[in-house]
Amino acid sequence: MITRQIPQQRQPLGFFPTPLVSLNNLSKRLHGPRMLMKRDDQTGLASGGNKTRKLEFLFGEALAMGCDTVITGGAAQSNHCRQTVAAAASCGLQCHLVLGGEPARTAPKGNLLLNDLLGAHIHWTGKYRKGEKIPEIVLNLKEQGCRPYVIPYGGSNATGALGFVDAVAELTEQIKSMSISIDTIVFASSSGGTQAGLMVGRHMVGADFELIGIAIDKGETGEKSFAEHIAAIANDTADLLELETSFSPADIQLYEDYVGKGYGVVGKLEKKAIRIVAETEGILLDPVYTGRAMGGLLDLIDQGKFSPKDTVLFWHTGGLPALFSYAKDLQ
């Protein structure tokens, strides 16, 4: 098991392993490859999601450092933020969320409602939705005597990426027990940590499956391209694990053609994907991440990228609560 090679402390937060299921009805409907789904929407932490994997290692580090408060940032309907405040509640820590946008004039919906129920302290920061205002809030918290631990946007740094290094080990055991092989894994790629962790995990188990990230957001990683950003996290993770390997942007397969009108803007691509998966498999995708990523996968199938003999795994990263705040957009 890879887990035994990961020295960092880990705080149990989710239900693992998550299910690996066949999408037989969807495969038949599409006349495409054999399709599987890794159900990280079933991790269990306040309705689940893939960020729970990252948070187990991030909270393990925070607790080991003696921190009493965590702080992170994201969009108003951030799944990462909702899972972070749930993790903080389970660990007995305070949680401050730095959210883009303005306070709602009506009753909170979706993840905002759950954040409130879970006891989050919310700081609204207008156009800044990636934690840009966190440093000044950290200073204020320290002045108040708090010991804050900063969790990066999406939980995406080397420590957080360990969650997906371990996820590859989990998946490897599952496919071995099911006597199947996987040709390609497709997933939503936004803050970079999931893709970086999968790359390092694939290297550690010696697998050769293809990793395809569907970009969810327009590139906003400063001077670096998104691929350079992912490679940097992967290299930091490899260094943390003392691996003698390195990654470059050329190692990263990333489709950036499906961002549409931008982050969180639902279009025909997302609506089609959400509806077809719901109708064929009884599985709900979210409008921001998995809806867009599945939409990209459906388009790649239409283009003939995969043969009927291929086995393609879609990694469901969660996000159900956000679905309810997009009701009008999904009609």
Count of CA atoms in the C-beta half-sphere (13 A) of 68? 6
Reference 56, options 6, 5, 11, 91; nearest CA is 11
Q: What share of the chain is helix, strand, coil (3-state, %, to 5)?
A: 45, 15, 40
Whether 78 sits among the annotated catalytic residues: the reply is yes
Do 201 and 169 touch, CB atoms closer than 8 A?
yes
Do 37 and 50 touch, CB atoms closer than 8 A?
no
Reference 317, options 15, 36, 50; nearest CA is 50
Do 78 and 49 touch, CB atoms closer than 8 A?
no
**DSSP-assigned letters across all residues of 131-182:** STTHHHHHHHHHHTT--EEEPPGGG-SHHHHHHHHHHHHHHHHHHHHTT---
Do 120 and 152 touch, CB atoms closer than 8 A?
no
Cα distances (Å, whole numbers) of residue 247 to 54, 65, 162, 282:
20, 30, 16, 38
Catalytic residue among 27, 78, 190, 325: 78
Distance of alpha carbon 258 from alpha carbon 190, whole angstroms = 12
Do 161 and 189 touch, CB atoms closer than 8 A?
no
Q: Which of the residues are catalytic? A: 78
